Every structure is written in structure tokens, then in C-alpha cells.
Chains A and B, each alone.
Chain A
Amino acid sequence: MLQTIALLMENKPGALLRVTGLLSARGYNIESLTVARTIDPQLSRMTIVVDVDATLRAQVIKQMNKLINVLQATDVTDAPSICRELLLLRVRAQQESRTAILKEAEIFGGRVVDSSTEGFVIEVTGEGEKLDEFVDVMRSYGDIEVVRSGATAMPLGSKKLKLQPPVPTRAELARV
């Protein structure tokens, strides 16, 4: 079963390896992984989606929390959280379908980030299922190419991770 884990960890060489090594040592396949530093450049935030046997989920979290570089690992699979993913989709569009494609993109809250006579590149963010639907819809218009970022999650509610945007703003960086 897919488990979503949110981690706050030190931004140090090898920290990522320790977390992923813990999963690969147990033969778990990582479905997606996103990582970026937080406002505090010493720390990173990571979201991993991994296929783990339901009975072992708690153990995996405990083992992650044991890692010296990990400040906190939280299982957000069933916890209140916001989970988003970025998708870039290139679709080859015939003249007659261009307007329809733009309409569909709008329905999904997509944004055209590149447009040419060949077609469009559309950027969409949302939950994974919504993006799957968008891909299905676009496929019906012609050849597509898709790049997805993988899920990035922010836990809500009582399970506290420091609430910080994953990337510092320019002003914040200047202060650091």
C-alpha cells in the first residue's frame, strides 16, 4: 500500500541517501520523492511516496526518526495534510482542437506555459488523481509527453512540522 511520508531533515550530504537507503535495504520501491531546502538553509523538507506493507508503516517511520539527520518523519498517508503534484504536459494539437484543449486546461486549472504551431505545454498542479484524469483527457487530443514532479505534502493539524514554504523567497534569502 502506498504510504506518504513527510520529513524534515538536515540539509547535509548523504542525508537523502540515509533515508532512501533505509527503504531500499528493505526492498521497498519509491514511487516518488521530492526534496528542497526550507527557509532555514540548514534544513530540507522531503516527501516520499513509497509502497510499504501496511503492517510495517509505523516501523518505517520509527527507523527514519532514528536517523541522526532526520528531525522529524511523519506518516501523512491518513493524517490531515495537503498533497500536491506538478505536471508538465506537452500535447501535439491539430488546428481544429486547439480551442478545445485550452478549454480543458482551464477546467483543470492548467496554465499554458508554451505555445507553438505544433501544440502546447500545459502546467497543472493538483492531487495525483486529478492529474491522472487530466492526462487521460489530453491523450484523446493527440500525442502527449508528460513530466510529473511527484507528490509534495504538508501535514496539517496537530502533527506539527514547522510550517514553512519549501523554497525561501528572495527577501528571505537576502536576510539569511
Chain B
Amino acid sequence: MSTQLMNGATMLLECLVREGVECIFGYPGGVTLPFYDALYDHPIRHVLVRHEENAAFAAEGYARATGKVGVCCATSGPGATNLVTGLVDAMMDSIPIVALTGQVSTKLIGSDAFQEADTFGITRSCTKHNYLVKKLEDLPAVVHEAFYVAASGRPGPVLVDIPKDVFQGKGHYQPVGAIHLPGYKVFTEGHAGQIRRAAQMIWESKKPMVYAGGGIIAANASEELREFVELTDFPAVNTLMGLGALPAEHPNFISMPGMHGSYAANMGMYNADLLIALGVRFDDRVTGRLAAFAPHAKIIHVDIDPAEIGKIRQPDLPIVGDVKRVLQKLNKLLAELKPELEPMYAAARREWRNEIQSWKEQYPLAPVYSDTEIKPQHLVAEIDRLSGGRAIVCADVGQHQMWAAQLVRFNEPRLWINSGGLGAMGFGLPSAIGAQFARPDKLVFALVGDGGFQMSIPELATIAAYGLPVKIVVLNNGYLGMVRQWQELFYNNRLSSVTLDCFPEAEKLAGAYGFKGRTVEKPHELRAAMEECVNEPGPYLLNVKVSPYENVYPMVPAGGAINEMVMGPPQPVSA
């Protein structure tokens, strides 16, 4: 059963339709001309961004907001190399995207042809897998394989490099049967014996802590996590990538742990006797100095990627599997064992909960306000108020990202979109574009710093052209704030190349693109300005001038132990 004769470009679109793709973020060029010609009257929507890097970020935003595979497209040479940052970002955060790149004709490959680059070689290390399609008949199998690899197991980016003559060649679309990847192993179920042992360990713990991360969100296992937490009544932290995995307003939720995590979360991790690590990778920003990380704890580590087990911290009980399936089975066992085992250490765990509660009360994560200037935390608190735990917030990278992670509530998964592992500045705005296309029903904030915003200003055109109602909120402190904070704290306040002068006037800038913008700097104006921003039916650029020297606290200095947090700036000594 084959379809009519078509060229490679149309065949590619046929594959994309069968994969359920509705929307591609891309930028055309010489060798992708046949593909763009086929797209001209095709129902798949192509979103024209203004830079290929942002196509990759937008595809990530789409994928992060939905869990579906995001698709981006670029031409050969510079188009493909511009995708690289987005690919690495997707790799670090395990985000399923498929990147389609054009390549010079097969006969020209290796001849230093115009706009030729070794895309396959360049992207080898920044993709989960990549392909160079040299024959048209391979195209359908490769594309379907690419989507399968991107979305299955531990998700990640996959790149398919397609030469121009493959786009132009004529052939029939042959439906692809089962995908044959003899070397691709996905372990989903989890070892039954290990799960049984885990259940035992869980009920035998006195100071347990659930350490849940991006894996919960990737596996759509939020419900199972909530069930686990409610069944056991254990306290839980969500990592930066896991925010929203457990609703922020859930009584068992503590906050984010790590370098800028809360006192309660870090002290909880440090003093725990059992860490239940679910879809996390013991990132250095979470663990601090490894030797002093959760030194008294036994570790149960559930991850779909066997290479994560023992990569950083050797677990006492590893379970390789899909955290959703593992939690389903574990919850069932825990419920069975509960009547018998729960009472054993219930009193100790109650005491533990009280201890955590007292840490929470001692050092709460609370916004800071001032009468004279807008504190950045004040702005973030405003976003939280208007979101009510339901809006999508796409952050850039830096101080604002940390304040948002601390103070904005996320009551659902896939609301908090940020570049966690790579920390790629310029991510916020384009990812918001992708998220808004994916979720037109949602209020989408692009919360960006004045540094990251200026990396992605070209995308204002995309936002204007598609009339996307993205709320761009610039937390403008006039500095590369996080770098400035480190220069202040660790480099004797020698502020080297971190001052961002000449920020454009928001009203004029947005006006130049045909939408509304405004700058606020007075605390009492902020509330109304934020409401105006949110109530505007179209896009809005709100530039908020905040106090320039605010630092993010609590802070675990690099290489420090997580129980040795710096809670705030040094206080003046009273006489």
C-alpha cells in the first residue's frame, strides 16, 4: 500500500502529519527551498521565527508545555549551526524535539559547497541521536524513528539532516512497520523485587524526603507522585526542573532545594535518613558539595536512564524504569503494607514533619517589598498573584529565574518552563512563543531579565506578526544580575562588564512592533501596570525597573554544603 508519487519534501510532510505534527518553528534557506515549497499550501503550520536558535527554543517551549514532540527546521550551514544551543538545551533538560535541517546535495557533501557544514558531526554530541539521510527511500523510516527516539525512554533532541536532492527526489511513501532499533533499550517497568524492597525501606524510614524532578513531568507522573505523597504523608521537594510536579500549594510540598533553594528544603535534604529520588540526576546545583549532600540518607533512585544510576551518588536501591509505572506499582504495594508497617515509625515521622515545619517558619521564602523602589521579588510576587498557580511562566536565565522558582506557585506540571541544565540566556522569550502556540488557552508570561531579553529582541517581530498574547515582563536591574551577584560576593565587587546600559524604551520598542509597552519604576504603580499588561488582549512588553543590587538568597556558595546556606546579605552590626 503505497501512496502517489511525490517528492522528498512532500514525503517528509507526509511523515510529519502521521506523527501528529501541527506546527513547525523554522527559518527557510537555500537547500530547504523544496521543503518550503511543499509547505506553501500544506495544513501543517509553519511559524517563521527570526533566528534559528529561537526556532529550537520555541520547539522546546512547545514540547515543554505539552509533552508532545516539538519540531524545528533550519537550512544547511549557518541555519543548522544556529540550532546547536537549542539542541544542547533540550539534551540537558531531556526535552523531546526533532530538528530538521537541510543539507547540500549529496554529490556536494564534503566539497566545501556554499552553506555546507558537517551538521551530522557537529550535532552528534548535542543530540540523543542524529541522522544524515542520503537516500530518499530511507527518509520515512528515519523520520518515524527520529520521533520515536525523541519521545521514548529518556526524551531528548533528535536531528535529521536532509540533502537538497533528497528533498527533490521522487518516490512513494511506504508506510513504515515496526521500528527496528536493536541497540536502543528502554526499561520502563522497574524490577519488581527492587520495588518491593523500596516499599519496605519507605515504611522503615524516620526522616524521609521525596526528591522529585523533571523526570516526573517528562513521564506525566504528577498524579502518581501526588498519590505517593498522600499515601505516605512524606514531605517533598521539587527540583528546578520538577516545579509543578507536585502542586505548589500541596501541604506536603516544601519548595525547591539547592543553591537557591529554601532553608527547609535544604535542611530537609541534609538531615533526611531516606531520599526517594524520582526522575532526578543529582545535579551539582542541587547537591552542593557532594561529600556533604544528604550524608545520613539512604537513597532510592528511580530513573529511566540506567546511566543516571550511580553517576553522581551511588544509591542504596536503584530502580531503572519509567517513574510513572514504578510509582503505580510502588503505591499499590505501599497501600498494601500500610496498615502493618506505617505505625512503626509514624511518631518519628510526625516529629520530622514538625521539624521541617519549624524550618519553614524560621526562614520562609517570602517576597521583599520597599516603598521607594520595586524589589525584584515584589515583581515576581505580582506574577504569582496574577497567575494563581495556573499561568505558564517561561523564564530566562539568571536571578529572575531563581526568584520565580522560589516565589511563583505552580499548581500543575508544564507551567514552569526554563532552561535548567544548560542555563541558556535568550531562552525565555522564544520558549514563550512555542508555549503560547501550544497552549493558546493559557496566560503565558515571558519573565526575562534585561540581559536575556536583549538576546531575543528579534522575536518581538514573531510575537507581533502572529499576534501572540505573550506577556513579556522584563525584570530590569540594569545588570547581568547573577554575574554581578557573584562578582560582588566572590570577586571583591569588581563589577567587570556586567552593566547593561542603553536599554531601549519599552513603549517605543513595543510600539515599533505595533503593540503596547510600558516602563514602571515606582512600587505603587506596579500592581496596576501588571494588570494592564495581563488584561491587554494582545502582546505586552512591561519593563520593570527594579532595585539594581538585590541578591538572590538563600544561597549555597559554589562548592558549599547544602546545610551551610547564606541566608541573606551581611547585616549591619548594632552598637
Contacts and interface: CB of A to CB of B under 8 A. Distances in A.
B307 A68 contact: no
A71 interface: yes
B124 A14 contact: yes
A67 interface: yes
B131 to A, nearest CB: 9
A18 B132 CA distance: 14
B120 interface: yes
Q: Which residue, B149, B183, B306, B307, has most C-beta atoms of chain A within 10 A?
A: B183
Interface size range on B against A? 20 to 34
Contacts of B130: 14
Contacts of B182: 10, 71
Contacts of B185: 65
Interface residues of A, number: 20
Nearest to B309: A62
Interface in A1-32: 9-10, 13-14, 17-18, 21, 25
B305 A66 contact: yes
B160 to A, nearest CB: 13
Interface in B102-149: 120-121, 124-125, 128-130, 132, 149
Given A65-B306, A67-B183, A68-B184, A17 B311 contact: no
B537 interface: no
A68 B183 contact: yes
A71 B183 contact: yes
Contacts of B183: 9-10, 67-72
Interface string B184-204: 110000000000000000000
Nearest to A61: B307
Interface string B291-328: 00000000000000111011100000000000000000
Given A59-B311, A62-B311, 9 more contacts: A10-B183, A17-B124, A25-B125, A59-B310, A62-B306, A62-B309, A68-B128, A68-B129, A68-B184
Interface of A: 9-10, 13-14, 17-18, 21, 25, 58-59, 62-63, 65-72
27 contacts: A9-B183, A10-B183, A14-B120, A14-B124, A14-B132, A21-B125, A58-B310, A59-B307, A59-B310, A59-B311, A62-B306, A62-B307, A62-B309, A62-B311, A63-B307, A65-B306, A66-B307, A68-B129, A68-B149, A68-B181, A68-B183, A68-B184, A69-B183, A70-B183, A71-B182, A71-B183, A72-B183
